[in-house]
Structures are given as structure tokens and as C-alpha cells.
Chain A
Amino acid sequence: QKEVEQDPGPLSVPEGAIVSLNCTYSNSAFQYFMWYRQYSRKGPELLMYTYSSGNKEDGRFTAQVDKSSKYISLFIRDSQPSDSATYLCAMSLGAAGNKLTFGGGTRVLVKP
């Protein structure tokens, strides 16, 4: 079993819809949780960065972390065709080690 599980998709939504993405993980020691966006042939771009449980909002993006369930989510409101990309969740142990453990990524397609 992978340490971080993420549905590969593709997830297809109409423009303007809410995109809902999630990851589950097995290591309860993870402390920091990130979402990256990756366009084809480009590097991952950091979207959201959260510590421990709770919600964080930034513009059209909302990240949620539920450590008791080992479950994290990313919501994208008012989705645009430019949001079409692969979304990667990542997490780290924090003080015990800063290497990132990634999910496999979910491919999202926003149709005009």
C-alpha cells in the first residue's frame, strides 16, 4: 500500500463548477500538508501549504486537513479552463524530516 493515496482521475468538470480533490495517507506523523499544481512538461507549483488540522483559504482555493481521519482535501471554486492540470498532494514530517511524500496526482480537466 502506498503511503499517500490519490485518485488518478481524470476528473472532468464544466467551467464554473467546484473541483473537489482529496488524498488519504497512512503515516500519522505527517505534520505539513501541501497541494501543488503541475502543468504538462512543467514543474510542480505550490498552491496551498498547511500545518496540522484545519482549513485554509486563498482566493478560489480551500485546503482542509483532517488528521484524525488521515484525509486532506482541496477545493477549487469557480473553476476555469486554465485550472486544467495535474494536482499533487504532498506531506512532510516537519521537524523530523523535510522530504516530501507525494500522492500520484489527479488529472483535472475543466471544459469551457
Chain B
Amino acid sequence: NAGVMQNPRHLVRRRGQEARLRCSPMKGHSHVYWYRQLPEEGLKFMVYLQKENIIDESGMPKERFSAEFPKEGPSILRIQQVVRGDSAAYFCASSPGGGGGQPQHFGDGTRLSIL
């Protein structure tokens, strides 16, 4: 499968714990985007990264959320001290470049449930 790979597919955490979501982009893609889909809401942009750089984090909550895309390995979205409102589906997308002419392809998401 050469598509965007996200794991885990489902993640259950208790309030106050940390959640780590992983995303491996499509082969040849060096740009990664994270989106969140809350129940009954559309997809909302969170953060855009290239290898070792955060390009745009305008959609990321200021506290508890962080993202990285290291030189080696997958991109990680990290949520510290999770709360019930963090329950959502988190989708990762990738593109070969960062210009507007580069379509984004999505993974099947990680569904995060907070107990």
C-alpha cells in the first residue's frame, strides 16, 4: 500500500494522558498536513510541516498540541493532558510539494476517544 499510512487507527486515552498519532506520507511526498474532524463538523486544518520544519501552525490549539516531522521517520501529532473535547478523528494528508498545484492525499485517520 503506497498510500498515506496512519496509526493507530483507534486510540483510547483517559483524561490527562498523552496521545501520539503517527503519519507516514506517500512515497515521494515531503509535505504533511494534519486535519481534525470533530463529530458533526467538517475537516479543520491544524498544521502543515515539511521535513524538520513547521510551515503553518495557524490551526493548532496554542496549548497541549504539538507536531513534528523529523528527518527520519513519520510525522507525529502529540496531544498532552487530553480532555474530552479532544475526541475526534485526526487525518493526515501529504503532497509531493507545497505549492498550490499540489493535491493532498489523505490517510484513513486515527479516531481518538477520551474516557
Contact = CB atoms under 8 A, between A and B. Distances in A.
A41 B108 CA distance: 7
A74 interface: no
B79 interface: no
Contacts of B99: 94-95, 98
A49 B104 CA distance: 10
Interface of B: 4, 6, 31, 33, 35, 41-45, 48, 56, 58-59, 91, 93, 95, 98-109, 111
A88 B43 CA distance: 9
Contact of B103 (A31, A34, A95): A34
B53 to A, nearest CB: 14
Interface string A21-48: 0000000000110101000011111100
27 contacts: A6-B42, A32-B100, A34-B103, A36-B106, A41-B108, A42-B108, A42-B109, A43-B6, A44-B91, A44-B106, A45-B106, A94-B99, A95-B99, A95-B100, A97-B56, A98-B31, A98-B48, A98-B100, A98-B104, A99-B33, A99-B58, A99-B59, A100-B93, A100-B104, A102-B43, A104-B41, A104-B42
